[in-house]
Chain A
Amino acid sequence: MWTILFAPAALALPPMEVAIEVGSLHNGDSAYDVVSDEDIVTSVGLRGGIAVAGPLHVVVGWHRASQGASVFAGETAFQSAYQANEWTGGLKGVWHLHDVIQPYVSAQALVLQGAFKFDGDASDDDNIDQLVERAVHPGGMATLGACATVPLPDWPAQPALWLEGGIAGVSRATYGNFGDMAAGGFIFRAGAGVQF
């Protein structure tokens, strides 16, 4: 761990950042109602970035969303689940306002790799009513955010918090026989990590 934190300074690498994040992506498509009463896809994930030229950073990220519900269909019920990987990558422009607060904007490609699952008997790992359909949605996101750091001049890395919001959208994609879904709207990300 310490080796990693000290590596950029020791090797004279450009400034980097890593963070653990939580996030949400608006999904007002009625298809998502099969797993949630809310129109929000919550997720957890990781993000990393590296400065490439002046205020410009390359950022990449991965989020995992996992939402499920008991579906009451008339007098009987079954279980539904939506599990997705949200892959992001793009550029971030940072304004070094001062040592603590650094606003930024970012524009990233977003690829949503989703799976809808239906299980007729959640208590049985192996039953005939286990169906899954997958789809990949390409899209993008643009956010406005700020990073708050705690300056520790003698330390190789500074703790940092990120908060950003913006808009995102992914294309409509077909989940086999289940139907199709698109997602998009407000996106929110918050993270905690280090800059070094």
Chain B
Amino acid sequence: MRRISLVLLLAACRGWGNLPDQDNVYTGPLWDPNAVWSTPDGLYLSLPASKGLGLLDPATGKLEKVVLEGDVDVIRAAPDGERLAVFTDERVCKDPDGELEDCDDFTDKRRLAVVQGGRAEVTVDISEGWNQLTFTPDGRTALLSIDTTLLDDVGAVLDLTSLLAVNLDDGASATVHVGFAPDELLFTTLPDGTNDRAVVLAYGEVAVVDLMASPPIRTVSFPLVLDPDDIAVPSDVVLTPDGNHAMLSIAGATELYILDLLNPNINIVDLDAPPVAMNVSAEADNTLIVSTSASSFTLVDHQFFDATVIEIDEPKSAVLDGGAFDLLWSPKQGQDVLRVDPLTGGVVEYRLQTAPTQLLLSPTEEFAIALTAQNQDFGSPFYGHPGLEILNLASEDVQPLLLESQGIAAAFTATEGSLHALILQEGVDYVYALDLYGGQNIEIDLEEPPITIGALSDGNFYVTHDDPMGLISIVDPDGDVTLLSGFATTGIFDAFGPSESGDY
């Protein structure tokens, strides 16, 4: 009797490190450290197991689930950095009094919810199939289309040649027939920042949608090629600042198509080499074009569309828009980064120790950070190591730093009088913080190896970690780290409950 009582008492007092473990249970990830969105509300997190969305308060570590109708399918951040667009699915019994578990006759509801302030501000019922979303840069409108490659199965008749325009302020939606399956969307901008038109492109066709009309309507549509059997695959497209012309490059072709969107017609400008990237300068009113097959770049003015070719040392394949300047570079190829003044065509060359894998521009456009691959130059002091190089865009200075591991991401925070960057390296359990004004750089130790980093609106950084119950480090640029842990267990019972979309 005494022995049995002792066993019972021990069973009653099992503590941490000695929890009962008789079973294995399975669910999806409670959260995804790669799916985190920083907004002024806090950090929105995808909660895959419970098919939900959570809002984490970085100050308290408390997670609140966002109440949505249905299960979360896709989450997209609006360009204003303040709102999220969330596609949800819900299986509903047609009998309003029926329980879903016992229902034989049900229907699937798909919705688009605009989330801000921790709640769905606008919810719009949409048809099955809409799965691609493009925001206008002003954040007023979302244009939805259908990508059939993302559809598991098709349970209805789908119109692939239309767009669904959703006003994110009031939830009003309208279908816009463009006549072909959209491939790419661009937007024209009025002086007040409002996006008034959408330019819709697909294989061989262009249409213009008036977004200011109520409901939005297609105004212009014309083919890129005269023979419908010919297919022209756009590789890049930009709009002139006045929105009257689209400049479109075709994969592998040296011709630059100038589309007049007001009086539909096409002019063609012959270039020396096939364009691979373009960037429009509003200030210079021209477009800079680079090609991988020519050691030059081209400036095309927007008035007469004359091309001016400027020779450089090596071809470039990417352009980073710095506002008053363009940064020309080639991912993983070439050690030069060029700062180009689009007004004059003047070039400043920054010579890196190693070819960059990423080039990131600070929000103040004063500095750029190049994350470089492992150096293969035997004679270089950087040989065998990846690196980080800080480009001072106000001068020609480059500060190279050797990294312990490959740099995979960087985030910037800018507050009045300070500019910091946080560098994430692959598989190391610290981040490197750069004080870009003060020049004081420090290593900040973390509890676990980081997965992703980002900036918070208060000037701090967040770093996510691969922890099943949730782990995020809030990093002060001075090196103070606050751990937020366990938040993904909020609503954990829902992860084991029935799904609202009928999937289990």
Residues of A at the B interface (CB closer than 8 Å) are: 1, 20, 30-31, 33-38, 44-46, 64, 66-81, 83, 85, 117-120, 122-126, 128-131, 175, 177-181
Contact = CB atoms under 8 A, between A and B. Distances in A.
Given A72-B24, A76-B468, A85-B12, 5 more contacts: A34-B493, A37-B25, A70-B25, A73-B30, A118-B492
Nearest to B50: A179
Given A30-B493, A33-B496, A179-B491, A129 B467 contact: yes
Contacts of A78: 468-469
B21 A70 contact: yes
Given A20-B4, A73-B30, A76-B468, A178 B491 contact: yes
B243 to A, nearest CB: 45
Nearest to A117: B19
Contact of A179 (B17, B25, B494): B494
A128 B22 contact: no
A129 B485 contact: yes
B14 A83 contact: yes
A81 B11 CA distance: 13
B14 A31 contact: no
Interface in B1-55: 1, 4, 8, 11-12, 14-17, 19-30, 48-49
Contacts, number: 147
A124 B486 contact: no
B66 interface: no
A125 B19 CA distance: 10
Given A68-B19, A76-B468, A129-B467, A118 B24 contact: no
B22 A177 contact: no
Contacts of A44: 8, 11
Interface of B: 1, 4, 8, 11-12, 14-17, 19-30, 48-49, 63, 447, 466-469, 471, 483, 485-486, 489-498
B17 A66 contact: no
Nearest to A66: B20
A184 to B, nearest CB: 16
A38 B24 CA distance: 11
A46 B1 CA distance: 11
B496 A31 contact: yes
A69 B489 contact: no
B26 A72 contact: yes
Contacts of B14: 66, 81, 83
A79 B495 CA distance: 15
A118 B486 contact: yes
A118 B487 CA distance: 12
B23 A67 contact: yes
A178 B490 contact: yes
Given A36-B25, A70-B24, A131 B1 contact: no
A120 B12 contact: no
A122 B1 CA distance: 32
Output the residue of B27, B447, B496 with the most chain A CB within 10 A.
Answer: B496
Nearest to B488: A73
Contacts of A76: 29, 466-468
Given A31-B496, A44-B11, A73 B468 contact: yes
B328 to A, nearest CB: 40
B25 A122 contact: no
B49 A69 contact: no
Contacts of A130: 16
A118 B498 CA distance: 21
A68 B491 CA distance: 18
A34 B483 CA distance: 25
Contacts of A74: 27-29, 48-49, 468
B493 A71 contact: no
Contacts of B490: 177-178
A122 B493 contact: no
A20 B8 CA distance: 10
B7 to A, nearest CB: 8
Contacts of B26: 71-72
Contacts of B29: 73-76
A177 B19 contact: no
Given A71-B25, A118-B492, A178-B492, A30 B16 contact: no
B17 A125 contact: yes
A69 B497 contact: no
Contacts of A34: 25, 492-493, 495-496
B486 to A, nearest CB: 5
Nearest to A75: B29
Nearest to A124: B17
A193 to B, nearest CB: 10
Contacts of B1: 1
Nearest to A46: B8
B496 A177 contact: no
Contacts of B489: 118, 131, 177-178
Contacts of A120: 467-469, 485-486
Given A73-B49, A128-B447, A179-B494, A64 B25 contact: no
A36 B468 contact: no
Contacts of B468: 71, 73-74, 76-78, 120
B27 A72 contact: yes
15 contacts: A30-B496, A31-B493, A36-B23, A64-B8, A66-B11, A70-B25, A71-B27, A72-B26, A81-B21, A118-B492, A122-B19, A128-B471, A129-B467, A175-B493, A179-B494
Contact of A33 (B15, B22, B25, B467): B25
A129 B469 contact: yes
Contacts of B28: 73-74
Nearest to A20: B4
Contacts of B15: 125
B4 A125 contact: no
B20 A68 contact: yes
Contacts of B492: 34, 118, 178-179
A179 B1 CA distance: 39
A38 B468 CA distance: 23
Contacts of A71: 25-27, 468
